[in-house]
């Protein structure tokens, strides 16, 4: 074969491989936030709110409902774990039949075959008040490991259940006086890892569940944010550095200390498998990206720039991650050759909206200012509309002002919304103290509220003031002269 033809063939094969390695949009979640897990060739994710639902999805296939219950009120998932053979799901909710004053939730842990029915394992079997609580769960093959207490607010312990054998649970870690057992637990191979807090110091403890002995522990300089475990006992840990950033490191049995791999990660989940660590790092002023690092700290992006990542799963060959608007999957190597989100069932652009909690009327200006970010977009940026209304007596809303906006991808911009005199006078007449702002763009609606002081007198008509320049002023002021 001629050299030129061979080079072209290799180029085409490389391009095809890169396209196959890009993240795929699987499904748009629609019931709040929840975890994600990898179960063989499927990505499993949970939604909760007014009811719960667990779905399984795969590239090129519509999501399949694995579990759906409409009755639990104020349901919150605390665990979704998967292995090639098993699936486990844990959630808490307000007890059935409880009054509005009830503050203590009940919890339930369900488990079953990876592609079969989920059955009750621990917690409250009927969703009513029960002294038994479950806080966290993990799977290693057919072994289900959980953090449970025998009564509300009682000391927690770590249990292991062999779901294949059906034997009674074995207590791996009993309650320890003076030690708070943190609610997260991880399991891989023969190892189990859990977090503790003793004397104000957080630590991760790793246990060899087969030998029934502690393998090692890591004391942390700050509170534990997240951690993960791979089958040979290596741990990945995340601890906060600032309000918005975390440090990522790893440790292993027989190795002293923690080896740092990242110092400015986003405060988000961390996962480890196959000696590679997946975490989230900044990608511009408002965007984030998923990164994959080796144990030496050499990292590369494996996703396009996107908004917040709420949940993450990694099994060494596949990544699954969830944002507020989509569940994605990516097979390694995950070359991330594109900077825009993939086509599919999810919105391909997202914006952030920030407004002050309070607004003061006065100062001679009739302009509302909002900070709008564009972490993810298919084109040059995000385009949409801001609509501001106020609350009338009786709960109805009336329009106050509106404006269109354009924000470049990966940036934040101050967007000004002018308010005319007639609208200000209507607001003064209604004596409203609450503004509601809606941001709408294709595939996304955001809402924010601001308390506002009513004008003391109507605003006189005058010529419209020039719109403030981008970034002009930091105070959110409305008012007449």
The predicted-structure confidence for 19-67, as pLDDT tens digits, reads as follows: 445 789 998 886 566 899 999 889 999 987 667 889 999 988 889 999 9
Say what the pTM is.
0.83
Of the two residues 335 and 321, the one the predictor is more confident about is: 321
Domain regions of the chain by residue span: 22-331, 350-478
List, in sequence order, every beta strand (DSSP E) within 334-459: 350-354, 358-361, 367-376, 381-391, 397-408, 412-418, 434-441, 444-452
Q: How many residues does the chain have?
A: 481
Give the C-alpha separation, 169 to 150, whole Å: 13
Higher-confidence residue: 454 or 119?
A: 119
| Averaged pLDDT, 426-451 | 83
Residue-wise pLDDT for 263-297, tens only, equals 989 998 999 999 999 999 998 888 999 999 999 99
Which has more confidence, 457 or 252? Answer: 252
Q: What mean pLDDT is predicted for residues 349-364?
A: 75
Question: Do 359 and 453 meet the contact criterion of CB atoms below 8 Å apart?
Answer: yes
The pLDDT of residue 251: 95
- Decide if pLDDT at 377 tops 70: yes
Check residues 125 and 316 and name the one with the higher pLDDT. Answer: 316
Q: What is the mean pLDDT of the chain?
A: 83
- pLDDT for 91 beyond 80: yes
pLDDT band, very low/low/confident/very high, at 180 (cuts 50, 70, 90): confident
Residue 431 has pLDDT above 70, yes or no: no
- Report whether the peptide linkage leading into residue 313 is cis, meaning its omega lies within 30 degrees of zero: no
**Beta strand 477-478 with 358-361: parallel, antiparallel or unpaired?**
parallel
Residue 266: count other Cβ atoms within 10 Å of its Cβ.
21
Question: For residue 16, what pLDDT is reported?
Answer: 41
The answer to which of 40-49, 355-364, 379-388, 425-434 has the lowest mean pLDDT is 355-364
Per-residue pLDDT at 7: 45
Cα separation of 363 and 365, whole Å? Answer: 6
Per-residue model confidence as pLDDT tens digits over 196-250: 988 888 999 999 999 999 999 999 988 999 999 999 999 999 999 988 899 999 9
pLDDT band at 454 (very low <50, low <70, confident <90, very high): low
Fold of the CATH domain 22-331: Methylamine Dehydrogenase; Chain H (2.130.10)
Residue whose C-alpha is closest to residue 31's, from 51, 55, 47: 47
Pairing mode, strands 358-361 and 444-452: parallel
Q: Which of 178-182, 364-368, 460-464 has the lowest mean pLDDT?
A: 460-464
* All residues at 6 or more sequence positions from 15 whose CB lies less than 8 Å from its CB, including other chains: none
Write 258-266 long-range contacts (CB < 8 A, 24+): 258/218, 259/295, 259/297, 260/297, 261/293, 261/295, 261/296, 261/297, 261/299, 262/291, 262/293, 262/297, 262/299, 265/238, 265/291, 266/308, 266/309
Q: 25-39, 165-179, 213-227, 443-457 — which is least confidently predicted?
A: 443-457
Interval 101-147: pLDDT, tens: 555 788 999 999 988 899 999 998 887 776 688 999 999 999 999 99
Tell me the CATH number for domain 350-478. 2.60.40.10
pLDDT at 3: 55
């Amino acid at each position: 074969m001629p050299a030129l033809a061979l080079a072209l063939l290799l180029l085409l094969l490389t391009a095809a491989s890169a396209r196959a390695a890009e993240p795929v949009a699987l499904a748009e979640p629609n019931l709040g936030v929840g975890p994600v897990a990898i179960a063989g060739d499927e990505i499993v994710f949970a939604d909760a709110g007014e009811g719960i639902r667990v779905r399984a999805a795969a590239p090129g296939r519509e999501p399949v409902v694995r579990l759906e219950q409409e009755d639990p009120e104020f349901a919150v998932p605390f665990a979704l774990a998967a292995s090639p053979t098993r699936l486990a799901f844990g959630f808490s909710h307000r007890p059935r039949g409880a009054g509005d004053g009830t503050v203590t939730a009940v919890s339930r842990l369900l488990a079953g075959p990876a592609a079969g029915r989920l059955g009750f394992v621990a917690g409250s079997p009927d969703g009513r008040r029960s002294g038994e609580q479950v806080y966290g769960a993990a799977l290693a093959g057919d072994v289900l490991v959980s953090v449970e207490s025998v009564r509300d607010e009682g000391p927690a312990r770590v249990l292991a259940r062999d779901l294949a054998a059906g034997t009674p649970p074995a207590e791996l870690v009993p309650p320890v006086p003076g030690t708070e057992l943190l609610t997260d637990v991880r399991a891989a191979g023969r190892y189990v890892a859990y977090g503790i807090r003793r004397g104000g110091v957080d630590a991760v403890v790793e246990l060899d569940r087969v030998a029934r002995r502690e393998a090692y522990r890591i004391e942390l300089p700050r509170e534990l944010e997240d951690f993960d475990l791979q089958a040979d006992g290596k741990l990945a840990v995340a601890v906060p550095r600032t309000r918005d950033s975390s440090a990522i490191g790893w440790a292993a049995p027989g190795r002293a200390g923690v080896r740092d791999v990242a110092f400015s990660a986003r405060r988000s989940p961390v996962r480890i498998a196959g000696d590679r660590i997946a975490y989230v790092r900044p990608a511009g002023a408002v965007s984030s990206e998923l990164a994959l690092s080796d144990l030496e700290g050499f990292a590369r992006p494996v996703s396009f720039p996107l908004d917040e990542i709420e949940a993450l799963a990694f099994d060494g060959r596949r990544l699954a991650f969830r944002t507020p608007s989509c569940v994605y999957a990516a097979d390694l190597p995950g070359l991330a050759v594109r900077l825009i989100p993939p086509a599919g069932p999810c919105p391909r652009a997202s914006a952030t909206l920030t407004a002050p909690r309070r607004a003061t009327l006065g100062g001679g200006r009739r302009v509302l200012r909002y900070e709008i970010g564009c972490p993810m977009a298919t084109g040059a940026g995000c385009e949409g509309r801001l609509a501001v209304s106020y609350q009338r007596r009786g709960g109805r809303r009336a329009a106050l002002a509106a404006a269109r906006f354009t924000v470049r991808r990966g940036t934040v911009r101050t967007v000004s919304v002018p308010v005319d005199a007639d609208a200000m006078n209507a607001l003064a007449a209604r004596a409203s103290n609450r503004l509601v702002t809606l941001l709408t763009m294709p595939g996304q609606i955001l809402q924010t509220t601001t308390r506002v002081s009513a004008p003391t007198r109507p605003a006189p008509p005058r010529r419209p003031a020039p719109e403030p320049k981008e970034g002009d002023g930091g105070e959110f002021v409305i008012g007449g002269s």
